[in-house]
Each structure stands twice: as structure tokens, then as C-alpha cells.
Amino acid sequence: MGVFRVTVKGEGLRAIFDGAEIPCGFYKNEFVWAKDQEEAVLKARANVGAALRRKSTVNQADLAHLQLDIEEVEVGLGLPRLLQRQGFVFHRLHADKDGAT
């Protein structure tokens, strides 16, 4: 068992900013206690999903189509890292010339 940092990248959301919905993605570091990398990834995905369901600025209908990718997994961190809560870093997804994001 150990402390893992899992960097999660998400796409497929519409966030509400200034009364308008815009397509966006995010990055989030999630710190979890797990026996191995596979368990750490599963816990991180579950934690991120739960946190997004609690956010009022996220269109809840989008969560069914949310794409979560794992960018990086780091193992061997100290126990105090479990106490650190880091927020989401949202970014706007820009449409290409055909209007797709």
C-alpha cells in the first residue's frame, strides 16, 4: 500500500460561466491510498466523478459522456499528501474549423 498521485484529464463537459455554457476540459491531481497502480487509477476516477457531481457549474447531463484519461501516475509519496485537496483546473476547448471541439 502506498500514496499515489494520479493526474486525470477530462473532456466532454459544458461548464456554466457568466450564464453561458462553454465546452471545456480539465486537469486534476488526485491523491489516493492504494495497493497498486491499477487500484490507484480506479480510486482516482471514482473520486473525480464524485467531485464533479457535486459541482454546480458543471452540466450534470454531460457526466454520462465524460471522457477521463490518466495522464500520469506517481507512487511513493508521503502520507501528508493524502490531506492535500487540489481543485480542478478547467480550460476551454476550442472548436476546430468544422465546429467540433
What are 63-88's pLDDT values in tens digits? 888 899 999 999 988 888 888 778 88
In a domain, 10, yes or no: yes
In a domain, residue 45? The reply is yes
Domain hosting residue 13, numbered range? 2-92
**Residue 32 domain-assigned (yes or no):** yes
What gap in Å lies between CA 96 and CA 100, rounded to an integer?
Answer: 6
Question: For residue 49, with 0-12 CB atoms within 10 Å meaning exposed, 13-18 middle and 19 or more buried, which class applies?
Answer: middle
For residue 20, being part of any structural domain is answered with yes
pLDDT in tens, the chain (101 residues): 999 999 999 998 887 778 888 888 999 999 999 999 999 999 999 999 999 888 777 777 888 888 999 999 999 888 888 887 788 898 888 765 455 54
**Smallest Cα–Cα separation from 28: which of 51, 12, 62, 53?**
51
The answer to the question of residue 100 being in a domain is: no
Would residue 97 count as lying in a domain? Answer: no
Q: Could you tell me the CA-to-CA distances from 46 to 17, 32, 64, 96, 99 in Å, in that order?
A: 25, 11, 13, 31, 31
Structural domains counted in the chain: 1
Amino acid at 52: L
